[in-house]
Amino acid sequence: MQDLVVQRPEGLYCPSGDFYIDPWRPVPRAVITHAHSDHARVGHGHYLAAAPAEGVLRVRLGDIDLQTLPYGQAIGHHGVKVSLHPAGHVLGSAQVRLQYRAAGGGQTWVASGDYKVAPDATCAPFEPVRCDVFITESTFGLPIYRWRPDAELFGEINTWWVANVALGRASVLMCYSFGKAQRILSGVDAAIAPIVVHGAVHSLNTAYRAAGVDLPATLTVDEVSDPADFRRALVLCPPSAAGGPWAKRFGDFSVAFASGWMQLRGARRRGGYDKGFVLSDHADWPGLLGAVNATCASRVIVTHGSVPVLVRYLTEQGLQAEAFHTEYGDDPVEEQVQPQPPENGAATQGGA
């Protein structure tokens, strides 16, 4: 029986349904798992995405031919039954479930996109979906990546922020504008001092609030009336903004970076950050293994990240594991260069 999803130069393709999933080149019909720009790109003829993603997709892609589908609701296309299920990654992120019944039998595939199994107040929680074949990401597919509870991390951010307020300096926290910034906003103590956000964060905050996500009040730099507030503020901005003219208005500030890559030894030091907070919107090693196990899939296809390590581990566990080569990776809008994990998959000691 023909595979439900194959690789083509344009991206991951469903031959039976004649559509693509997160294609990186323009195609007539695309199912989009989420609005990060390595998965959602301009130029497709028709887009299908989960209903909660509509606002953020339109912020990022503009006026597109977009069809939305509530989580769990199925539609048919050329005999393929398609439904979208929460991925827990960012607002509107979805796993794509494909079911096809052919003369020789049926099969069910799930393409996960990016996902996170830890709780997150800013998006629907990850939903395990049983299938025959599971296409999984492996961004943090090494045993060294094991996330701590959010409450501990947000407590550390609050402590750092309070200490900087006492010293009369801003706390500039670099993070992805989409997903990470809103997650940080949902977890920090907004009563400490004003929160100032970059314009890229502000536009996405607006889309989140329109979707019903509760975020604390924030200010853009133009809305700050008292210059003293700059020296007390928590400032959320993409990495590209912290070293440019935009940040100079904050005067003396402490700079930190929130990313799963801060788990790597030396990453904070090489980046020149005062603090590094290990906070990711992707599944860690236990999360990846738990998600794969929950699908009950006998065949697993691994994409972008530490692919060989995860393929080898799953094969050793008795699964049929293989790789898809994709163009997914960093979100180009963020202009973030991520450190590379150890080539041999060995754990490092300590962390940033």
Does residue 346 have a pLDDT over 90?
Answer: no
Cβ-in-10-Å burial (0-12, 13-18, 19+) of 242 comes to buried
Tell me the per-residue pLDDT of 50-102, one tens digit each, with 9 for 90 and over. 999 999 999 999 999 999 999 999 999 999 999 999 999 999 999 999 999 86
Q: Are 256 and 277 in contact (CB under 8 A)?
A: yes
The pTM of this model reads 0.91
Q: What is the pLDDT of residue 102?
A: 62
Question: How confident is residue 116, by pLDDT bands cut at 50, 70 and 90?
Answer: very high
Distance in angstroms (rounded) separating the CA atoms of residues 278 and 148: 8
Long-range Cβ pairs for the range 320-326 (8 Å, 24+): 324/7, 324/12, 324/135, 325/7, 326/7, 326/11, 326/12, 326/24
Question: Is the predicted pLDDT of residue 282 greater than 90, yes or no?
Answer: yes
Cα torsion through 246, 247, 251, 255, rounded to 10: 180
| 341 occurs within a structural domain | no
From the list 291, 277, 88, the residue with the least C-alpha distance to 179 is: 88
Query: Do 123 and 202 sit in the same domain of this protein?
Result: no
Measured on CA atoms in the order 343, 345, 351, 352, is the torsion positive or negative? positive
pLDDT reading at 292 higher than 90? yes
pLDDT number for residue 271: 72
Helix axes 180-187, 199-210, angle to 10 degrees: 70
Kindly list the distances between the CA atom of residue 329 and the CA atoms of 37, 82, 182, 282, 332, in Å, as whole numbers in the listed order: 10, 25, 21, 12, 8
User: What total number of domains does the chain contain?
Assistant: 2
Rounded-to-integer distance, Cα 225 and Cα 289, Å:
49
Domain of 303: which CATH number?
Answer: 3.60.15.10
Residue 352 lies in a domain: no
Mean pLDDT across 320-341: 65
pLDDT band at 296 (very low <50, low <70, confident <90, very high): very high
pLDDT band at 336 (very low <50, low <70, confident <90, very high): very low
Which of 237, 256, 277 is a domain's end point?
Answer: 277
Residue 68's CB is within 10 A of a number of other CB atoms, namely 16
Residues 141 and 11 reside in one and the same domain = yes
Q: Which domain, by its residues, includes 307?
A: 6-145+282-334
Confidence of residue 269 (pLDDT cuts 50, 70, 90): low
Mean pLDDT is lowest, of 195-209, 229-243, 325-339, for: 325-339
Q: How far apart are CA 83 and CA 71, in angstroms?
A: 7
Of 31-45, 102-116, 308-322, which gets the smallest average pLDDT? 102-116
Co-location of 30 and 104 in the same domain: yes
Whether 73 is covered by a domain: the verdict is: yes
Looking at the structure, do residues 40 and 79 belong to the same domain, yes or no?
A: yes
Q: Is residue 348 part of a domain?
A: no
Tell whether 24 and 136 lie within a shared domain. Answer: yes
In the three-class reduction of DSSP (H, G, I as helix; E, B as strand; rest coil), residue 298 is classed as coil
**Domain-embedded: residue 192:** yes
Strand-pair partners of 31: 21, 48
Least confident of 18-32, 278-292, 293-307, 316-330: 316-330
Burial 154-169 (b: 16+ CB within 10 A, else e): bebbbebbeebbeeeb
Structural domain contains residue 271 = yes
Which string of DSSP letters, residue by residue, matches 168-182? T-EEEEE--TTTHHH
| One domain for residues 210 and 291 | no
Does residue 345 form part of some domain?
A: no
Instruction: Give the domain-ending residue among 243, 277, 311.
Output: 277
Q: What CATH number has the domain bearing residue 254?
A: 3.40.50
Q: Which of 7-11, 198-202, 249-253 has the lowest mean pLDDT?
A: 249-253
Mean per-residue pLDDT over the chain, rounded: 91
Highest mean pLDDT among 140-144, 264-268, 326-330 belongs to 140-144
Q: Are residues 88 and 14 in the same domain?
A: yes
pLDDT at res. 268: 64
